[in-house]
Amino acid sequence: MKRLVLLCVLLVASRAKVFEKCELSQMLKANGLDGFQGITLEEWICIAFHESGFDSRALNYYNGSSSHGLFQINRQYWCDGQDAKSTEPSVNACQISCDKLRDDDITDDIKCVKKILKESQGITAWEAWQPFCCADLDQWKC
């Protein structure tokens, strides 16, 4: 039984990834995020670092809701999932399971990010942008 539990833990852990800065930069560029809605690649790298530490499995709770993945996409508005700590129903505007935002495939995360930029308050939807990522971005270049 212990071996089965260990195997399950290893399988779940292998589906999530902590990205390196330049690796993430290449993936974001390849998926059309560089310059999308006027936001630079360096801004996105900075946001991902400050929101999740480049960890695709990041999960955080705040004010009765949860935020998921690299970009900490909020469950209440953008994704759907059962969550004992989240008290409000989800709008699920990105039409995605929150679990999918916490795996190593970030293409669906990027699609949701683009939707948030177009349909929400733009880049200010990410709280890390204003204090950390709107000026002096040299350290986020590859």
CATH architecture of 17-140: Orthogonal Bundle (1.10)
Q: Specify the 3-state DSSP secondary structure of 20.
A: coil
Angle (deg, nearest 10), helices 21-30 and 41-52: 130
Distance, in Å, from the CA atom of 122 to the CA atom of 47, rounded to the nearest integer, reads 13
Q: Print pLDDT tens along the chain (142 aa).
A: 444 333 344 444 446 799 999 999 999 999 999 999 999 999 999 999 999 999 999 999 988 889 999 999 999 999 998 776 766 788 999 999 999 999 999 999 999 999 999 998 899 999 999 999 999 999 999 9
Tell which residue, 88, 136, 82, 79, has the closest CA to residue 108: 79
Write down the pLDDT at residue 127: 93
Residue extents of the structural domains in the chain:
17-140
- State the sign of the Cα–Cα–Cα–Cα dihedral 61, 71, 131, 127: negative
